[in-house]
Structure 1
Amino acid sequence: MTASGPVRILVCDDHVVVRAGLLALLDSAPGIEVAGEAGTGEEALALAAKLAPDVVLMDLQLGEGIDGVETTRRLTRGPGPRPHVLVLTTYDTDADITRAIEAGATGYLLKAERPEELFAAIHAAAQGRTALSPPVASRVMAGLRNPRPSLTGRERDILAQLARGLGNREIARALFISEATVKTHLRRIYDKLGVDTRAGAVAVAKERRLLP
């Protein structure tokens, strides 16, 4: 609860049924007041500017228009009131989590969470405290313990071709470079990934989600 009263929340989800369920659930939550609802990112931005909620409960995939990540970025970095954004989604890939956090999300929850955990996360977000679902927290910690190696664009291109099973000559033709250049890049890729074989490079790339 904020100093002046209940936490005022704006719900943004493009699925009407899901949104209705969330509104009904939040209406029963102590210390939480639903200020409004939006079905698109554009609606969320307009309503946030008008209603000045404490927290925006944000889905990532919003159908047409701007997605939840871009909406989060504009809410947390734009002019005017800047609400805390709590992502509530079914997506838990490393890429989704990273994009949302980098965009300014205060927390990241999965829709499988129990109601009381959602309520607690909303109150935490209103105070600027991070709230993460356990699976999300595990992914974040794993990423910190095993940070992704920094590959150049060309190295990523070659890695993608490796994953397709192409040989050096085929990669050179596909990327319009020489075989010698391919071999040089491969040595650098192996060093960065800590492997010494093509199969090892592809395996690590898949494990760390380095492939497109």
Structure 2
Amino acid sequence: MVVADDQELVRSGFAMILDAQPDIEVVGEAGDGAAAVALTRSLSPDVVLLDVRMPVMDGIEAARQITAEGGSRILMLTTFDVDEYVYDALYAGASGFLLKDVRRDDLVHAVRVVAAGDSLLAPSVTRRLIADVTSRRPARAGDPGAAPSARLDALTPRERETLLLMARGASNAEIAARLFVSEHTVKTHVSNILMKLGLRDRVHAVIFAYDSGLVTPSPEG
């Protein structure tokens, strides 16, 4: 993986923690977004850990370029819990985000989750954030959620039910229990949803669900 942060102590600290894991190898470090893009092009890491605010090129633009060019998955770092940077990061193709004061074990877990092709959607704070930012900002041309409602027609009724439960934060096991099917069946539904809607992962499926009007944010956020 590649770690990119303009603060050397933060960058080297994260790199040291991650590289100490038996199943994670840090192959490069970058101090700005442009360097992160260049490293990713040359090294093709599975995961890129990007700070949102960096000189030369910020993490949002770096994420956009990296996801447009290849298969590396993006995990964003931010000092802000709820702001439009996270919204922009998700729409740029990030599979999740972490606060910079993340605990060591949570950092390692997050990298493993993203590397495995999943997204950081489980915590309720993430669900509330996605609901909040998607309710406050309209879909824009070129975004994954642009003019999405008609695309729902591609889904079967059961796939719509699955997407609705995903957007409400249910895990595969919880969806299986609600729909009285196996977890394997739920995984198949999720894969079909992502394929039919042209979405990267569960995070973007949830954004789509809100943008399409399938789900509306609850008053309490």
TM-score (norm 1): 0.60
Q: Secondary structure of the residue that 2:136 maps to in structure 1?
A: coil
Deviation at 1:39, TM superposition (A): 0.6
Residues in 1 aligned to 2:38 and 2:68: alpha-carbon distance in whole angstroms: 15
Q: Which residue of 2 aligns with 1:72?
A: 63
Deviation at 1:142, TM superposition (A): 4.1
Q: Secondary structure of the residue that 1:131 maps to in structure 2?
A: coil
Residues in 2 aligned to 1:20 and 1:119: alpha-carbon distance in whole angstroms: 15
Deviation at 1:134, TM superposition (A): 5.0
Deviation at 1:31, TM superposition (A): 1.1
| Aligned-residue RMSD, C-alpha | 2.2
**CA 1:38–1:149 in structure 2 vs 1: closer, same or farther (change >3 Å)?**
closer
Residues in 2 aligned to 1:72 and 1:115: alpha-carbon distance in whole angstroms: 23
Summarize deviations over 1:94-135 as a string: whole Å, max 9, x none.
Answer: 311110000000111111221111111111111221115653
Summarize deviations over 1:52-99 as a string: whole Å, max 9, x none.
Answer: 100000000002x11100000000012xx3300000221233311110
Question: AA paired with 2:90?
Answer: I
Say whether residues 1:24 and 2:16 are aligned partners: yes
Say whether residues 1:136 and 2:123 are aligned partners: no
Contact 1:97 1:136 in 2 (8 A): no
Q: Which residue of 1 aligns with 2:75?
A: 86
**CA 1:115–1:137 in structure 2 vs 1: closer, same or farther (change >3 Å)?**
farther
Residues in 2 aligned to 1:33 and 1:124: alpha-carbon distance in whole angstroms: 15
Residues in 2 aligned to 1:58 and 1:23: alpha-carbon distance in whole angstroms: 12
Paired residues for 1:124-163 under 5 Å = 124-132=113-121, 135-143=125-133, 147-148=135-136
Say whether residues 1:13 and 2:1 are aligned partners: no
In the comparison of the two structures, how many residue pairs are matched? Answer: 139
Residues in 1 aligned to 2:118 and 2:136: alpha-carbon distance in whole angstroms: 26
Summarize deviations over 1:157-208 as a string: whole Å, max 9, x none.
Answer: xxxxxxxxxxxxxxxxxxxxxxxxxxxxxxxxxxxxxxxxxxxxxxxxxxx9
Q: Which runs of 5+ in 2 are unaligned?
A: 139-220
Q: Which runs of 5+ in 1 are unaligned?
A: 1-8, 151-207
Higher relative contact order (Cα pairs below 8 Å, separated by 6+ residues): 2
Say whether residues 1:37 and 2:29 are aligned partners: yes
Contact 1:92 1:136 in 2 (8 A): no
TM-score (norm 2): 0.58
**CA 1:123–1:149 in structure 2 vs 1: closer, same or farther (change >3 Å)?**
closer
Question: Which protein has the larger Cα radius of gyration, Structure 1 or Structure 2?
Answer: 1
Q: Secondary structure of the residue that 1:32 maps to in structure 2?
A: coil
Q: Which residue of 1 aligns with 2:52?
A: 60
Query: 1:122 is matched with which residue: 103, 107, 111?
Result: 111
Which is further off, 16-25 or 52-61? 16-25
**CA 1:143–1:74 in structure 2 vs 1: closer, same or farther (change >3 Å)?**
closer
Residues in 2 aligned to 1:130 and 1:29: alpha-carbon distance in whole angstroms: 20
Residues in 1 aligned to 2:90 and 2:38: alpha-carbon distance in whole angstroms: 22
**CA 1:124–1:149 in structure 2 vs 1: closer, same or farther (change >3 Å)?**
closer
Residues in 1 aligned to 2:57 and 2:67: alpha-carbon distance in whole angstroms: 15
Residues in 2 aligned to 1:69 and 1:149: alpha-carbon distance in whole angstroms: 17
Contact 2:84 2:133 in 1 (8 A): no
Deviation at 1:41, TM superposition (A): 1.0
